[in-house]
Every structure is written in C-alpha cells, then in structure tokens.
Amino acid sequence: MTDTIAAISTAVGEGGIGIIRISGPSALDCGMRVFVFSSSHEVDRENIKERYLYYGRVCRDDKTIDNGFFVYMAGPATYTGVDVVELYCHGGQLVLKNILSAVLSSGARPAMPGEFTKQAFLNGKMDLAQAEAIVDVIRAETELALSCARSRLDGVFSKRVNKIKDALTNALTLMEAQLDFPEEELPTPDMLPVFASAQREIKTLLDTYEEGTALKNGVRVIIAGRPNVGKSSLLNILLKEERAIVTPHPGTTRDVIEETINLRGLPVRLMDTAGLTFTDDPVEAIGVARARERMKEAHLILYVVDSASAFDEDIGIIKEQDGKKLLIVANKADLLSEANEKGRNDLQRAFKGHKLSFTSAMRSSGIEELKDAIFEAISGRLAHEAADTATSGLVVSLRHKLSLEKAFGAVERAKEAASGPLELCAVDTRIALTSLGEITGEVTTEDILDRIFSEFCIGK
C-alpha cells in the first residue's frame, strides 16, 4: 500500500492517444520528475492544480521523449483512493514504453495485473464483487452482458448480499446479548423467520447462476445430427461466413468448430460437431465422441435432420437426450414441395413434443425463423432475469456461488440448532456471515486477492 506503481493503461497497438498511469503516495513526485511544463505554466509542487490538464514534454535525462499532457488527481477522491498522475501522449508502443521506463526510473515500480483496481478495493473505493465486475464490463460482447456487469459494478448484487448479512448480523447480536448477559433474563429471540428469509434470499441468488454465467460466458448451443444433414452449412449461415468446410461427402467435420455470435443481444457460442454415426475410422470416431460430450454440456441442442430422408435413427438419438433442451431443425425443407403437407406432418408427428423449425441451408430460407426459435428456447427465464438486472443482479462467479452454498448450509444448520443450545446456533450464524463476507471481500486472504486480480489486464 505504500508503493507507487505505474503502467501503460491503454490497449496494446497504435492509437491516437496513449496513457501512462501512476498511482501511490509518490505519484506526483514521480510524474514531475519526467514532465517539463510548457513556458506558459509556472508549476511547482505547491501550486499545481488538481484535475487540470497541463501541456508540456515528457523527458528523460533532459532528452524529450514526446509532447503531451499531465494531469494530477489527489487521493482519496481518485479511482485508486490515493494520489494519481496520468500522462497523455501519442499512442505508439515505443513512445509509451520509453515514457514508462522513464517513470519507473523516477521512483515507481511496474504495476502487476489489476493492481490499480486492487488498490481501489483495499482503499475502500469498491467491494470485491464490484472489483470483479470491472473485468466483465471490459470483456462484455453484448448489451445484455454489459448490462449485467454494469449492475454488479454499481453494487446491485452486493446490496442483495449485504441485506442478507444485515439480517443475520442483527440476529447474531441478539443471540450474543443473551449469551453474554444471562442474568438479565432477556427474552429468547425467535430466529426461525430470520433464517427462513435468509435461505429464501440465498436460494433466489443461487437460482440465477446458470443465467448469469450464460450472459457472461455465452450460451452453449451445439449443432448436432447425423452426417450430411447440413450442420456445417447452417453454422456458416448463422455466422455469415464460411467458417466450416462444406462438401457433399459425409463426415467432413471431424472436430468441434466453435464460434460466438450476438443473437438478439445474447452471446451464443455455436458449436458444429461431427455427424453422429458408427464408424471404423479412428479419427472420425474421436470426433463423434467429442460431439456426444459437448451435447451433455450444452444449454441447447440444435438437432438437425434431413427433411427428405428417413429419420428413425434420429428418433433413437433424440431419446438419449432425455432432460436436455432440444430444438429440432428440419433442414433441406426445400425438398418438400409446398403442396406436400404429408412430409411436414410426418416430421411433426415423429418429433412430437419438440419445437420444430424448417430451414433450407442451400436457399438460406427459414434462417430468421430459426434464430427466433433459438432465442425463444434459450431466453425464457434468462431473458426475464437479464431484463431485470438493474434491480436484481445475477450470480456469475463460481467463487460467489460456492460462498453462497456454504452460507446456505450454515443457515440450515443454524435453523436446526435454533431450538437447542444457543451457542451452536450462534456458531453457524457466524459461519454464514463469514461465507457472505467472502463475496464482498470483508473476509478474504491475500491468496484469493492475487487469484482474482491476476485475471485483470496490466494497467487496470
């Protein structure tokens, strides 16, 4: 906390502007050692204005590296909670590296990944859940993912956790008062409603984990089916690029091809797989095995069938996917004449109970309807939760999920102990509070912090 750190805070590559950030108790001294203010500014350490953009030159050993601007922000009213200086210069990588080298020679040390945000957390500018949300804001690929991350950065999720903690803390206070002052004959508090309410709130948060991770990491949608039914052609059309090789010969795809698209605001990870068939080819057999494994992990299976072929084998494969969300894509629908309603009716009877979408990859028909069907299949609760992120918040981190599960178990034990010795009930209530405190960072270790902030880029 007493170190002064510095790093390039703009992305790697050429740009109009590059920024060097310096943060720490010696930030102003380090910055002024490398910056020569223009003659129109008479600046020294005593009269420098905060949040004022000064023009001048960045120098090392009296040699100019670049012209640029200097801004000083005094802590604690800064992002990190301590003094910050930022140098704005041209966005070339060599220029930035030379300026950073000069700053490091002036008394700063190189910042570790995420260390500016770590300073902000340690200085109370944000809690740990909010700090983690910053990475998700940076990495968000869709409006819904950004909205979800933004709500957590604004503290919506933390407020829900803190509300549970406050209720349990009040309950623990009453228990400890009775334990510490037995001679006062205080009335035994009724803890069951408090514990029941806490469990409901924790369970509500845990129920959002699948939706939260889907918004953050993408909904896994696998394109499966027997060989040569048009799986790769559908992938290419949905991606609007020739990503997968398409030939008239079965078994062209032998590995999983994965790409992400923005589908009506949802991040969707599309996976094209090898055709599901029995084969003596060892390479193709590996591809089939991988396809079946991915089907187990998928949020949604797009099972593609050939509209004009027999589909008895398809029915058997689909029955194996019991419990999985599945959308039947009847491809090559152009081979069914408009007057031939029998073919469509046969398909609908064969796959009764499943949503059916008719497409023709060759003619690019039915694709928009397929997108609507995919969105409807994967949205449901997800769309409802996503639309309500501004008021509810979502669980997107495995770390948060595990802490909530520990808290839920502790509250369950406390509820069971409520009718017995108060000491046991108090112990489990403290465990629940500790688990919830791990989420917001009130209870943490240096090892946990290092793991979390190592996921950040250098300069943030």
pLDDT in tens, 236-260: 888 776 665 444 545 545 566 777 7
Which pLDDT score is estimated for 325? Answer: 81
pLDDT in tens, 66-109: 999 999 999 999 999 999 999 999 999 999 999 999 999 999 99
Q: Is residue 415 part of a domain?
A: yes
Q: CATH code at 350?
A: 3.40.50.300
Q: Is residue 52 part of a domain?
A: yes
Q: Is residue 354 part of a domain?
A: yes
Higher-confidence position of 283 and 143: 143
Which of 101, 125, 149 is where one domain is finished?
A: 125
Token couple for 166: 């406050």
pLDDT in tens, 326-370: 888 888 887 775 545 666 677 777 777 777 788 887 788 888 888
pLDDT above 90 for 405 = yes
Q: Identify whether residues 153 and 171 lie together within a single domain.
A: yes
Q: Identify whether residues 224 and 331 lie together within a single domain.
A: yes
Q: Give CA 421 to chain center in angstroms.
A: 43
Which pLDDT score is estimated for 236? Answer: 83
Q: Identify whether residues 149 and 229 lie together within a single domain.
A: no
Q: Identify whether residues 69 and 20 lie together within a single domain.
A: yes
Handedness of CA 293, 318, 375, 273 (dihedral sign): positive
Q: Is residue 418 part of a domain?
A: yes
pLDDT in tens, 206-225: 988 877 887 777 788 888 88
Which pLDDT score is estimated for 26? Answer: 95
CB 384 within 8 A of CB 208: no
CA dist 300 and 378 (Å) reads 7
The domain in which residue 48 lies consists of 5-125
Q: Is residue 60 part of a domain?
A: yes
Q: Identify whether residues 319 and 400 lie together within a single domain.
A: no
pLDDT in tens, 5-43: 999 999 888 888 999 999 999 999 999 999 999 877 778
Q: Identify whether residues 224 and 363 lie together within a single domain.
A: yes
Q: Is residue 144 part of a domain?
A: yes
Higher-confidence position of 274 and 434: 434
Q: Is residue 308 part of a domain?
A: yes
- On the question of a cis peptide bond just before residue 76, with omega within 30 degrees of 0, the verdict is yes
Q: Identify whether residues 320 and 356 lie together within a single domain.
A: yes
Q: How many domains does the chain have?
A: 3
Strands (E), 317-378: 326-331, 355-358
CA separation (Å) from 441 to 127, 132, 185, 231? 6, 11, 37, 46
Q: Identify whether residues 291 and 318 lie together within a single domain.
A: yes
Q: Identify whether residues 144 and 114 lie together within a single domain.
A: no
Q: Identify whether residues 17 and 97 lie together within a single domain.
A: yes
Q: Is residue 397 part of a domain?
A: yes
Q: CATH code at 139?
A: 1.20.120.430
Which of 125, 142, 177 is where one domain is finished?
A: 125
CA dist 87 and 298 (Å) reads 47
